[in-house]
């Protein structure tokens, strides 16, 4: 990456020119500039968590009791270091514990790793011994204890052309791991490590699958992991599916880095194509018998919910491809017969696809046969509804002009339901922990203070760890008891490295949308060593799609590389702006339904209106020099904004963009289903190729050649621009997917910054 200072104009101050490059590079790994503050704790049971402080120089592992606030070190640092030194023959590095993670042994000691080797610490904490190493024969046969009892990974099919890496799933009786090998279901014995193949009809087009942990992007850029255990409670049955893609369409991918090209045909679901069929089964471990569950599977997406306590019945939910309907089913594992318990229909989509792909069905089975909780926006806000196992509504659980964010759990002893919510609509993106009695009663907010509360619940619901932050306020973690009272305060975050690069705290804002009435919220990241008397160019980071809200209303503790540009660009003297327009989630249903059958215009109008409103009160924002960039659907909307608002956006970067709503079925719920006569206008209005001749600003397209639909779409857009006689830049990243590898990402960032320097920073008046 060439030195960015060489690309800057002569008018840039000496201070900025000297420090911008180093500060920009540092902020591309923003989390590395932060130390402490946000505690990620591990549960110990009975209201206790352990956590790490002082790593790596002064590593200490402590335990905190969230009921009393008592906090103590779990290990005597001096004794542990002395015991390890006696084994390795030298003093361990640094001054703290020689490990920052451990597991308890059966006798109360601790197992840990140091410099790639396994050790065991005695229960008294004064003796360290190397773990017994397996013999050559055990290693060769895979019968050593670690190989037998640790899960392996396997490739797992998805709705898209790629595969995920998933772990084997252990049975509750500790006898088996279930997994997929060569597209077929197998069981691996924990007793001797031997693999027993269960199915033999699987193939690349019709692979077997099991439930594994699924990860989705939650509110405020959080990562939410869901797992529905496929094993019955007694370990005698396993829920499995076949993922049949033979009915779907095909798309080509060409690998060009070898001497001879490789051309592949991959399954890809375009708008209107048939969806892969998810065929559900129950497998019996005793005789490997398979029972097919009798349920319609065409144009359906299926998510497993769990088993009844007796292991006889199991539950799953299906959504139609247009997401206007969802149905909860119970199935008899002995016969395969299914029965619909409950169904909800909506005039528009009732779920978001990305949530479903990440395992978030919006339906949670309750313990002890109490029924299930169903998330619904039927009254205009997302709330929880309690249904019995017969499918009848028991009662509404939450209510109010605010939405539930996520279900956190239920305390079986008290009947309290815990959930996160945007409970304070004065600040609609703040997140709070709340609770409410399942049997009816008022909602109680357990967290205090403006901002985003990230909560880690104790397994017995006796308390929680709460981390609170705002865009301009670093996170601070505290331990709270069950009533939300603070019982312990962790060490604050050290931001000295961040401040050393001239970081200026960002600013949260609220302005009106293009309709003049709706509030839009976002964040402005200000230039390093910010001076309100200066004039700064503006770069907007956009997503715009209806699947997630994009502006982070917490302190930015994550985001590296291209995902850290919002925080890094101000180091180069840019004002960086991120906001969410109408059509995005986490607000009211009416706020999001603006996107239904109107994919584009409200987004471009809202973003332009927001920038103009911001600049009216902030003279340091130079609207003569505005750029915009986005990735994925953000790449689409970056170009759409340039086309629809040519007097504002003079340059843009479309990274990994999809320009064609006909290219992927993920558009369907928002454009009223599969393409047809009744919604043709909505699809055509979202199609950008025909508007290519209207482009006035300077466009750069960045796309990976393995990102099949995106690559095809980008090539088509480039051709449309060529035919219109419009100059643009196309940056090809060979054999890169929707996310870029490190070197390719650095190259893309370099190209992007050079583009903005030429056409935004150094641009005079038009």
Judgement on whether residues 26 and 67 belong to the same structural domain of the protein: no
- Domain annotation covers residue 578: yes
pLDDT in tens, 711-764: 999 999 999 999 999 999 999 999 999 999 999 999 999 999 999 999 999 885
pLDDT in tens, 689-708: 999 999 999 999 999 999 99
**pLDDT at 34 exceeding the cut of 60:** yes
Q: Specify the pLDDT at position 156.
A: 86
- The structure's pTM equals 0.94
- Domain annotation covers residue 158: no
- Domain annotation covers residue 682: yes
Residues spanned by the domain of 94:
42-130
Judgement on whether residues 22 and 58 belong to the same structural domain of the protein: no
Half-sphere exposure (Cβ direction) of 179: Cα atoms closer than 13 Å: 22
**pLDDT at 557 exceeding the cut of 50:** yes
Judgement on whether residues 576 and 639 belong to the same structural domain of the protein: yes
Rounded mean pLDDT, 409-420 = 96
pLDDT in tens, 290-311: 999 999 999 999 999 999 999 9
Judgement on whether residues 65 and 16 belong to the same structural domain of the protein: no
**pLDDT at 284 exceeding the cut of 60:** yes
Judgement on whether residues 25 and 121 belong to the same structural domain of the protein: no
Q: Specify the pLDDT at position 161.
A: 60
Q: Specify the pLDDT at position 657.
A: 98
Choose between 162 and 221: higher pLDDT.
Answer: 221
Give the pairing of strands 325-332 and 536-541: unpaired
**Of 130, 150, 179, at which residue does a domain stop?**
130
**Of 130, 149, 167, at which residue does a domain stop?**
130
Task: Indicate if the alpha-carbon torsion angle 648, 652, 654, 658 is positive or negative.
Answer: positive
Judgement on whether residues 16 and 104 belong to the same structural domain of the protein: no
Q: Specify the pLDDT at position 14.
A: 52
pLDDT in tens, 114-149: 999 999 999 999 999 998 887 878 777 777 778 888
Rounded mean pLDDT, 264-279 = 94
Judgement on whether residues 671 and 723 belong to the same structural domain of the protein: yes
- Domain annotation covers residue 100: yes
Q: Specify the pLDDT at position 750.
A: 96
- Domain annotation covers residue 306: no
Rounded to the nearest 5°, which phi and psi values hold at 85?
Answer: -60, -35
Q: Specify the pLDDT at position 187.
A: 97
Judgement on whether residues 10 and 118 belong to the same structural domain of the protein: no
Q: Specify the pLDDT at position 394.
A: 98
Instruction: Determine the distance from the C-alpha atom of residue 476 to the mean position of all C-alpha atoms in its chain, rounded to a whole number.
Output: 22
> E strands, 160-246, where?
163-167, 169-170, 176-181, 184-189, 195-197, 206-210, 214-217, 223-226, 237-244
**Of 69, 104, 130, at which residue does a domain stop?**
130
Judgement on whether residues 624 and 687 belong to the same structural domain of the protein: yes
In whole angstroms, what is the distance from residue 160 CA to residue 268 CA? 6
Q: Specify the pLDDT at position 559.
A: 83
Q: What is the mean pLDDT of the chain?
A: 93
Rounded mean pLDDT, 674-682 = 97
Place of tokens 């006889």: 312
Contact status, residue 307 vs residue 314, Cβ threshold 8 Å: yes
Choose between 219 and 727: higher pLDDT.
Answer: 727
**pLDDT at 288 exceeding the cut of 50:** yes
Q: Specify the pLDDT at position 136.
A: 76
In whole angstroms, what is the distance from residue 363 CA to residue 588 CA? 19
Task: Indicate if the alpha-carbon torsion angle 71, 74, 77, 78 is positive or negative.
Answer: positive
Rounded mean pLDDT, 587-607 = 98
Q: Specify the pLDDT at position 9.
A: 42
Choose between 22 and 185: higher pLDDT.
Answer: 185
| Confidence at 227, pLDDT banded by 50, 70, 90 | confident
Please report, rounded to a whole number, the percentage of residues in the chain having pLDDT higher than 90.
87
Q: Specify the pLDDT at position 7.
A: 44
| Confidence at 162, pLDDT banded by 50, 70, 90 | low
Q: Specify the pLDDT at position 160.
A: 64
Q: Which of 42-51, 79-88, 160-169, 679-688 has the lowest mean pLDDT?
A: 160-169
Judgement on whether residues 526 and 576 belong to the same structural domain of the protein: yes
Crossing angle between the packed helical segments 633-644 and 601-617, to the nearest 10 degrees = 70
CATH code for the domain in which residue 26 is found: 3.40.50.1820
- Domain annotation covers residue 60: yes
- Domain annotation covers residue 752: yes
- Domain annotation covers residue 627: yes
Please report, rounded to a whole number, the percentage of residues in the chain having pLDDT higher than 70.
97
Judgement on whether residues 608 and 564 belong to the same structural domain of the protein: yes
Choose between 157 and 441: higher pLDDT.
Answer: 441
Rounded mean pLDDT, 320-331 = 98
Q: Specify the pLDDT at position 543.
A: 98
Number of C-beta neighbours around residue 289 at 10 A:
12
| Confidence at 570, pLDDT banded by 50, 70, 90 | very high
**pLDDT at 21 exceeding the cut of 70:** yes
Number of domains the chain contains = 2
**pLDDT at 8 exceeding the cut of 60:** no
Q: Specify the pLDDT at position 766.
A: 38
Judgement on whether residues 12 and 99 belong to the same structural domain of the protein: no
């Amino acid at each position: 990456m060439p030195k960015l200072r060489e690309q800057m104009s002569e008018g840039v101050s000496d201070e900025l020119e000297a420090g911008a490059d180093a500060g920009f590079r540092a902020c591309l790994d923003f989390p590395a500039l932060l130390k402490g503050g946000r505690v990620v704790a591990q549960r110990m049971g009975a209201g206790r968590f352990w956590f790490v402080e002082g790593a790596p120089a002064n590593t200490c592992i402590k335990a905190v009791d969230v009921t009393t606030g008592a906090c103590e070190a779990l290990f005597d640092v001096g004794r542990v270091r002395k015991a390890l030194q006696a084994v390795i023959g030298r003093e361990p590095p640094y001054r703290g514990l020689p490990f920052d993670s451990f597991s308890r042994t059966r006798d109360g000691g601790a197992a840990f790793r140091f410099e790639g080797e396994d050790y065991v610490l005695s229960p008294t904490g004064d003796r360290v011994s190397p773990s017994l190493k397996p013999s050559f024969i055990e290693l060769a046969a895979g019968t050593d204890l670690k190989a037998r009892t640790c899960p392996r990974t396997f490739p797992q099919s998805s709705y898209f052309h790629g595969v995920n890496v998933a772990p084997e799933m252990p049975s509750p009786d500790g006898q088996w791991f279930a997994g997929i090998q060569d597209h077929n279901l197998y069981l691996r014995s924990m007793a001797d490590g031997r693999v027993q193949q269960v199915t033999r009809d699987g193939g690349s087009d019709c692979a077997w699958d099991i439930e594994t942990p699924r990860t989705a992007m939650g509110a405020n850029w959080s990562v939410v992991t869901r797992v529905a255990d496929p094993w019955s409670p007694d370990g005698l049955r396993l829920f499995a599916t076949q993922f049949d893609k033979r009915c779907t369409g095909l798309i080509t991918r060409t690998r060009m880095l070898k001497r001879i090209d490789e051309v592949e045909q991959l399954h890809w679901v375009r708008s209107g194509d048939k969806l892969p069929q998810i065929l559900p089964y129950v497998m019996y471990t005793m005789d490997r018998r398979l029972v097919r569950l009798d349920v319609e599977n065409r144009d359906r997406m299926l998510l497993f919910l769990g088993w009844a306590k007796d292991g006889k019945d199991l539950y799953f939910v299906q959504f139609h491809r247009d997401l206007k309907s969802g149905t909860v089913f119970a199935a008899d594992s002995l016969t395969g017969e299914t029965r619909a318990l409950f169904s909800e229909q909506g005039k528009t989509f009732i779920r978001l696809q990305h949530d479903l792909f990440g395992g978030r069905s919006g339906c949670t089975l309750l313990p002890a046969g109490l029924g299930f909780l169903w998330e619904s926006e039927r009254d205009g806000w997302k709330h929880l509804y309690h249904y019995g196992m017969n499918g009848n509504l028991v009662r509404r659980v939450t209510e109010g002009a605010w939405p539930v964010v996520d279900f956190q759990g239920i305390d079986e002893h008290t009947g309290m339901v815990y959930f996160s919510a945007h409970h304070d609509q004065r600040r609609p993106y703040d997140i709070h922990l709340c609770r409410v009695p399942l049997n009816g009663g008022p909602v109680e907010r357990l967290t205090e203070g403006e901002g985003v509360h990230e909560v880690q619940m104790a397994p017995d619901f006796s308390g929680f760890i709460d981390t609170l932050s705002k865009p301009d306020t670093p996170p601070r973690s505290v331990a709270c008891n069950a009533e939300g009272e603070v019982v312990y305060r962790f060490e604050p975050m050290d931001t000295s490295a961040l401040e050393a690069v001239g970081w200026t705290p960002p600013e949260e804002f609220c302005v009106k949308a293009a309709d003049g009435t709706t509030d839009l919220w976002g964040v402005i990241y200000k230039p390093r060593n910010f001076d309100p008397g200066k004039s700064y160019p503006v770069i907007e980071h956009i997503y715009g799609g209806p699947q997630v809200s994009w502006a982070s209303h917490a302190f930015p503790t994550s985001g590296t590389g291209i995902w850290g540009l919002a925080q890094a660009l101000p180091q180069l003297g840019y004002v960086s702006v991120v906001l969410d327009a109408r059509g995005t989630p986490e607000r009211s249903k009416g706020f999001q339904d603006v996107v239904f059958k109107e994919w584009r215009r409200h987004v471009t109008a809202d973003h332009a209106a927001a920038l103009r409103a911001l600049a009216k009160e902030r003279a340091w924002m130079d609207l003569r020099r505005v750029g915009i960039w986005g990735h994925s659907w953000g790449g689409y909307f970056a170009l759409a904004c340039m086309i629809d608002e040519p007097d504002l956006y003079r340059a843009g970067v479309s990274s990994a963009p999809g320009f064609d709503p006909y290219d992927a079925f993920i558009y369907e719920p928002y454009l009223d289903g599969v393409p047809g006569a009744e919604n043709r206008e909505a699809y055509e209005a979202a199609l950008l190729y025909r508007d290519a001749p209207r482009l006035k600003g300077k466009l750069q397209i960045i796309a990976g050649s393995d990102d099949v639909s995106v690559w095809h779409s980008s090539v088509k857009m480039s051709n449309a621009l060529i035919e219109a006689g419009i100059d643009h830049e196309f940056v090809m990243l060979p054999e890169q997917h929707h996310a870029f590898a490190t070197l390719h990402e650095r190259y893309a960032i370099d190209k992007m910054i050079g583009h903005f320097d030429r056409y935004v920073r150094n641009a005079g008046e038009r």
